[in-house]
Amino acid sequence: MLPVVRLDGTAWFVDLRLRQFRETMNPHNYVDFDTVKGTRFCQQAGVVTCLRCGTSVVVSGSPLDEGVCCVRCGWAVDNGR
Ligand SMILES: [Zn+2]
């Protein structure tokens, strides 16, 4: 079960393994994290990538005063807020 975020009026699956957003109603339409649009989506959706190991995590909904740690290596990931 992938997390779903709503961006630009569209619901997207957040696929952290493939590093892309996929439209829930049209899976053929996707946005890679590494594109300009994908970078903006990541910021809006609260998706951050660990600089140490490259693992992406969704941080939206996390308490702002608590640091976010990478689920794989424990590195403190900056959520950009
Ligand atoms: Zn990591």
> Looking at the predicted structure, is the pLDDT value of residue 80 above 70?
no
- Who contacts 41 (Cβ-Cβ below 8 Å, separation ≥6)? 5, 7, 12, 21, 31, 33, 47
**pLDDT value, residue 79:** 53
**pLDDT tens-digit map of 23-70:** 999 999 999 999 999 999 998 888 888 889 988 888 765 554 456 778
What's the pTM value of the predicted model, to 2 decimals?
0.76
Q: What is the rounded distance in angstroms from the CA atom of residue 53 to the CA atom of residue 66? A: 21
Give residue 27 CA to ligand 1 midpoint distance, Å: 28
Q: What is the rounded distance in angstroms from the CA atom of residue 9 to the CA atom of residue 16? A: 21
Q: Which domain holds residue 41?
A: 4-77
Give residue 25 CA to ligand 1 midpoint distance, Å: 31
Q: How many domains does the chain have?
A: 1
Give residue 36 CA to ligand 1 midpoint distance, Å: 23
Contact 21, 40 (CB under 8 A): no
**pLDDT tens-digit map of 5-34:** 899 899 999 998 899 999 999 999 999 999
